[in-house]
Amino acid sequence: MSIEVRNITKSFGQFKALDNVSIKINAGELVALLGPSGSGKTTLLRIIAGLEVPDPTSGPIFFGGEDVARRKVGQRGVGFVFQHYALFRHMTVFDNIAFGLTVKPRKIRPTKEQIRARVSELLHMIQLDNLADRYPNQLSGGQRQRVALARALAVRPKVLLLDEPFGALDAKVRVELRGWLRRLHEEIHLTSVFVTHDQDEALELADRVAVMNNGHIEQFDKPDYVFHHPSTPFVMNFLGQVNQFRGRLGRTGEIHIGQYAGVAEEMVAANTSDWASEANASFFVRPHDLAITRQPREGQLSFPGTILRVHSAGVRIRVELQSDEGEPMLAEVSHARWERLGLKAGDRCFVTPHSVRIFDAVDTPAAARTTETPKAGASASGEEKAS
Amino acid sequence: MSLLTRAQKTDYGSHFRAVKEATTEPAAVKWFLITVAVLFMSVFLLLPLICVFYEAFASGWELFKKAVTDRHTLSALKMTFLATGITVPLNVIFGLAAAWCIGKFQFVGKSFLLSLIDIPFAISPVIAGLLFVFIFGTQSAFGQWLQDHNIRVLFAWPGVTIATIFVTFPFVVRELIPVMQSQGTEEEQAARVLGARGWHIFLRITLPNVKWALLYGIILCNARAMGEFGAVVVVAGNSAKTNTLPLHINALYQGYADACAPFAVATILAVMAIVTLIVKSFIEWKISAKENRL
């Protein structure tokens, strides 16, 4: 069953948790709401569930074409998995899973045998067949999470909503459960929405990812597309580390950063028509698109820097640098390339951006917004000293 | 080989001893502290209790039996049971409602409500008794109205009960609030999403989760209700009909009864207190066993 919300706004006092948000989720899709804390992702999930009431100015909430905005949470037919499981601590695993069935009005309540059969089926699905008589506090975190999921599925909900489903688990269990949830979704094809602040989780698990920030949805696309074609600086920043340089964009597409100028091999802009005008701009470069060389590259934008630290424990070597203005930069190179360069911490070198992304030729508040959530944002503007 | 293992064993032994010695007080300090504690408990707690039982039986079994089965004693026992029997259920209902709303919801005036609940702890029971005399006495309009309609509150069982309720009402709610607050509302929300309705959620989720705290509160409330003196003595007046057990004991002690009579009646209260203590320890043991399982 598809889910569609239109123009949802939610304020908590002065704070706007959601500001006019609309989203349409197709039937059978697994969608991630991804964003930092305070971005409104959990609020949106709870509004879809009916656990939170949006502001009166908000639009409708459709489940498969039917407006459920006026319906109470118990009547919406949603399965909800809470971040901290919220299992009933005084009930066994069996009773927890059976709860939703046993509280149905007498007329539509299944018989004892039917309930038993349904619970056994779910216990089998979550691979906890022999733990039916345990209490929640006798289970591990991963087991509790699976019981919470089975409990939500017992009533055959139309949509499944998960709030930070793996947030309270340790890294290894998290990855295991992720794969398990993905396979489960492929089996039952229930329209599902989950909230997460972990970009790996969102990109690996979801069919589509909605990246949220400050109560807005910044971008809603397939994981691959969101990662490779971020539509705002925020999305680029949130889905991995990025260097940010302030400078000027020339008429012919050359980049001016301080006294250094030149073109980059690849340049992607949100709006190419803006290239014509000479304007101040922010340039975004992923660490793996920032090449380190001993000499400046002819005809390309290259500027000097100093190597601060080298992290070599990993698949690729991560190099922390500093521009002559003291701005931090981050580059990623392969082990082979690093050996050939023969550089070490403290050495001088040149950096050359290969692929540069511009979101708005003019320095707009959109670009400024990314600086509020710095991850690896680094700017090197107005360089004056020669190397 | 065997030498080696023995050597290792001794080694570990001395190691453990060393650790133990490093973290405990010297024996002299230990015994001194224990002696002080035991002496204090004996003089202030155990000795009076033994005295009560000793005095009660000092003049022989017959006199004890006479005092305990006396008409006035039985009437006082009945009054105590009546007042306690009404007080405890009412305070349970009130306590659950108040703790639920304080523990699970955010609203303006919450801390004010909390301080209101603590008033009976803060003010002297005698003042509470006087308060009710003012409210229900004939000098107030309400008291006048009650008298016109021939309803007796003061110097009758309703007055005794109301005073007992007032004095004991923080007990249940004070036990429940921290438990409800720490448990939060997620389980209730989960039940609501699963389609459970308000009353169902309360009976199947909220109530079982606070079961032991509630029982503990009931025990404390019950103990205090049976033993309350100050507030009750003001509203009960000076009649044998409205005496509760503590009042009756006082009357016997002040009056011309047998010397053993007040002590004999006091043993009834003492036994009830001991039973309460045993039940309380059992519940505490249950709670800690439950927490250890977590």
Q: What is the DSSP string of chain B?
A: -HHHHHHHHHHHHHHHHHHHHHHS--HHHHHHHHHHHHHHHIIIIIHHHHHHHHHHHHT-HHHHHHHHT-HHHHHHHHHHHHHHHHHHHHHHHHHHHHHHHHHH---TTHHHHHHHHHHHHHS-HHHHHHHHHHHHSTTSHHHHHHHHTT---TTSHHHHHHHHHHHHTHHHHHHHHHHHHHH-SHHHHHHHHTT--HHHHIIIIIHHHTHHHHHHHHHHHHHHHHH--HHHHHHHTT-GGG--HHHHHHHHHHTTS-TTHHHHHHHHHHHHHHHHHHHHHHHHHHHHHHHHH-
Inter-CA distances, A236 with A226, A244, B156, Å: 8, 10, 79
DSSP A314: S
CB-based contact A74 B200, cutoff 8 Å:
no
Residue A271: predicted pLDDT: 59
Inter-CA distances, A91 with A81, A379, B98, Å: 17, 56, 25
Min Cα separation A370/chain B (Å)? 34
Residue B105: predicted pLDDT: 85
Residue A122: predicted pLDDT: 93
Read off the pLDDT of each residue in A8-16 and give the average, rounded to a whole number. 90
- pLDDT tier for residue A278 given thresholds of 50, 70 and 90: low
| Chain A residues near residue B208 by CB distance under 8 angstroms | 90
Read off the pLDDT of each residue in A195-215 and give the average, rounded to a whole number. 92
Read off the pLDDT of each residue in A121-137 and give the average, rounded to a whole number. 90
Residue A319: predicted pLDDT: 93
Inter-CA distances, A241 with A215, A270, A289, A382, B120, Å: 22, 19, 11, 23, 61
Question: C-alpha B127: how far from its chain's center?
Answer: 20
Percent of chain A beyond pLDDT 90? Answer: 47
Residue A362: predicted pLDDT: 47
Residue B292: predicted pLDDT: 63
Q: What is the pTM of this model?
A: 0.77
| Chain B residues near residue A74 by CB distance under 8 angstroms | 192-197
Residue A87: predicted pLDDT: 93
Q: pLDDT tens digits for A75-105?
A: 898 999 998 889 999 999 999 999 999 998 8
Q: Which amino acid is at B200?
A: H
Output A138 or A325, whichever has higher pLDDT.
A138
Residue B78: predicted pLDDT: 93
The average confidence (pLDDT) of chain A is 85
Picking from A47, A52, A89 by the largest number of B CB atoms within 10 A of its own CB, the best residue to mutate is: A89
Question: C-alpha B105: how far from its chain's center?
Answer: 27
N-terminal to C-terminal alpha carbon distance within chain B: 44
| Chain A residues near residue B204 by CB distance under 8 angstroms | 99, 103
Look up the ipTM and state it: 0.77
For residues A341 and A292, the answer to whether their CB atoms sit within 8 Å is yes
Residue A272: predicted pLDDT: 54
For B152-178, give the secondary structure using H, E and C.
CCCCCHHHHHHHHHHHHCHHHHHHHHH
CB-based contact B194 A137, cutoff 8 Å:
no
Percent of chain A beyond pLDDT 70? Answer: 90
Residue B259: predicted pLDDT: 80
DSSP A253: S
Q: Say how far apart CA A334 and CA A336 lie, in whole Å.
A: 5
Residue B170: predicted pLDDT: 93
Inter-CA distances, A59 with A26, A158, A349, B34, Å: 18, 21, 56, 71
Residue A123 neighbours by CB distance under 10 Å: 20
HSE (side-chain half, CA atoms, 13 Å) at B288: 5
Residue A255: predicted pLDDT: 84
pLDDT of A368 > 70? The answer is no
Q: pLDDT tens digits for B147-180?
A: 888 888 888 899 999 999 999 989 999 999 999 9
pLDDT of A367 > 50? The answer is no
Q: pLDDT tens digits for B239-258?
A: 788 899 999 999 888 887 67
Q: pLDDT tens digits for A47-74?
A: 999 999 999 999 999 998 889 988 888 8
Report which of A269, A264, A206 is spatially closest to residue A236, judged by C-alpha positions: A269
pLDDT of A374 > 70? The answer is no
Tell me which residue in B187, B193, B209 faces A73 most closely, judged by beta carbons: B193
| Chain B residues near residue A103 by CB distance under 8 angstroms | 191, 194-197, 200, 204
HSE (side-chain half, CA atoms, 13 Å) at B15: 6
The token pair that represents A296 in the structure block: 């400046």
Residue B291: predicted pLDDT: 63
The token pair that represents A36 in the structure block: 């930092």
Q: pLDDT tens digits for A297-321?
A: 887 888 889 999 999 898 999 999 9
Helices (H) and strands (E) in chain A, counts: 10, 21
Residues of chain B with pLDDT under 70: 1-22, 257, 291-294
Burial (CB count <10 Å: 0-12, 13-18, 19+), residue B253: middle
Instruction: Find the closest chain A residue to B207 by CA distance.
Output: A90
